[in-house]
Amino acid sequence: MDLKLKNKTVFVSGSSKGIGFETAKLFLEEGATVIINGRTEKSVKNALKKLNTPKVSGIAANFIADKQIDELIKKLPDIDILVNNVGIFRGKNFYDETEKDWKDHIQVNLLGGVKLSKHFLPKMIKKNWGRIIFVSSECATLVPGDLLSYSVSKASVNVFSSGLAKLTKGTNVTVNTIIPGSTLSEGSKIFLKEAAKRENKTIEEVESNFFKDVRPSSLLGRFAKVEEVASTIVYISSPLASATNGASVRVDGGSMGSVF
Ligand SMILES: NC(=O)c1ccc[n+]([C@@H]2O[C@H](COP(=O)([O-])OP(=O)(O)OC[C@H]3O[C@@H](n4cnc5c(N)ncnc54)[C@H](OP(=O)(O)O)[C@@H]3O)[C@@H](O)[C@H]2O)c1
């Protein structure tokens, strides 16, 4: 299938690793021009080296610092597709979560995408084509007790994205949210490794226990591969997905269990 992305320019936040990196890689395979992002020059440089094509460039910016998002916006060229993928995740008991944990989750997971959308949506509407994608999480509706600030930030992403889509009425611009379930990204690999060490178990045992005890609702019963999430992001970003707007598209392995 030709996804018709060859003349498109894409920015993917948080794309030096994980789902974002794989998304950038798939866009490049489809012939798009891609700008990647990570917190440091070093991590961006490493990712660019791995992608190894003149069609990719990178901008370091830490979304925790609002000023760095402003600088990022100044450096970005005109883009056709904005993928708000960056997300942080700190698992903590509610009583241990600090005010900073709450603010950081909202800042990185929600407000960065709000600022980028405010800048790029009017430009997309003016040229009558564009895609804005938000990456949420199954936690937006599962709301685990040890992930309250993360879950709230992700639920607010779904709400914001749905409202933003309404501003595209009558145009060829769409705004959609992708909802991954547990996915084997770099972040999850670190989580599994640390849990295995802490519990004196193998990584396979930790993964199997995770789906038995923590995500029993998962139909997939394993971590999704980053490719499985990235391919959905790239399809929904493509001209082929023109009739999907204001949607929340689940790649949750069935864990959320809802009909719609
Ligand atoms: N993995 C899962 O199980 C899962 C499940 C549901 C939803 N999600 C969502 O999917 C998205 C991607 O997650 P992932 O698991 O692929 O992440 P990951 O493997 O931990 O990778 C994180 C990426 O984001 C960048 N990053 C982290 N903090 C940043 C910041 N403050 N500013 C700019 N860049 C930053 C990292 O860059 P550097 O480290 O190079 O700086 C890296 O490129 C997130 O929104 C996450 O909430 C993930």
The domain spanning residue 104 has which CATH number?
Answer: 3.40.50.720
Question: For residue 260, is it within any domain?
Answer: no
Q: Is the same domain home to 157 and 33?
A: yes
| Ligand 1 center to 13 CA (angstroms) | 9
What pLDDT score was predicted for residue 191?
Answer: 86
Q: Is 150 a catalytic residue?
A: yes
What pLDDT score was predicted for residue 109?
Answer: 98
Exposed/middle/buried for 171, CB within 10 Å: 0-12, 13-18, 19+? middle
- Say yes or no: CB of residue 18 within 6 Å of ligand 1: yes
What pLDDT score was predicted for residue 118?
Answer: 98
| Ligand 1 center to 16 CA (angstroms) | 9
- Say yes or no: CB of residue 33 within 6 Å of ligand 1: no
Q: Is the same domain home to 155 and 36?
A: yes
Report the atom number in ligand 1 closest to the C-alpha of 47: 40
What pLDDT score was predicted for residue 260?
Answer: 87
The total of structural domains in the chain comes to 2
Question: Phi then psi for 220, rounded to 5 degrees?
Answer: -70, -40
Q: What is the pLDDT along the chain (260 residues), one digit of tens a residue?
A: 999 999 999 999 999 999 999 999 999 999 999 999 999 999 999 999 999 999 999 999 999 999 999 999 999 999 999 999 999 999 899 999 999 999 999 999 999 999 999 999 999 999 999 999 999 999 999 999 999 999 999 999 999 999 999 999 999 999 999 999 999 999 899 989 999 999 999 999 999 999 999 999 999 999 999 999 999 999 999 999 999 999 999 999 999 998 98
Q: Is the same domain home to 201 and 161?
A: no
- Say yes or no: CB of residue 63 within 6 Å of ligand 1: yes
Distance CA 68, CA 56 (A): 21
Report the atom number in ligand 1 closest to the C-alpha of 229: 10
- Say yes or no: CB of residue 218 within 6 Å of ligand 1: no
| Ligand 1 center to 170 CA (angstroms) | 33
Q: Is the same domain home to 68 and 192?
A: no
Question: For residue 84, is it within any domain?
Answer: yes
Query: What own/partner pairs with CB < 8 Å and gap ≥ 24 does 152-160 have?
Result: 152/105, 152/106, 153/87, 153/105, 153/106, 153/108, 153/109, 153/110, 154/87, 154/109, 156/106, 156/110, 157/84, 157/109, 157/110, 157/113, 158/134, 158/248, 160/110, 160/113, 160/114, 160/134
Q: Is the same domain home to 128 and 96?
A: yes
Distances in whole angstroms, Cα of residue 108 to Cα of each of 23, 122, 197: 19, 22, 29
What pLDDT score was predicted for residue 246?
Answer: 98
pTM value is 0.98
- Say yes or no: CB of residue 253 within 6 Å of ligand 1: no
Q: Is the same domain home to 178 and 133?
A: yes
Atom 28 (ligand 1) nearest CA: 88
- Of 150, 160, 211, 223, which is the active-site residue? 150
Q: Is the same domain home to 46 and 118?
A: yes
Question: For residue 256, is it within any domain?
Answer: no
What pLDDT score was predicted for residue 58?
Answer: 98
Task: Write out the residue range of the structural domain in which residue 200 sits.
Answer: 184-223
Report the atom number in ligand 1 closest to the C-alpha of 15: 43
Question: For residue 258, is it within any domain?
Answer: no
Report the atom number in ligand 1 closest to the C-alpha of 184: 1
Q: Is the same domain home to 88 and 205?
A: no
Joined tokens for residue 66: 């609002």
Joined tokens for residue 224: 């999704």
Which residue from 86, 137, 177 has its CB within 8 A of the most atoms of ligand 1, so it is best to mutate? Answer: 86
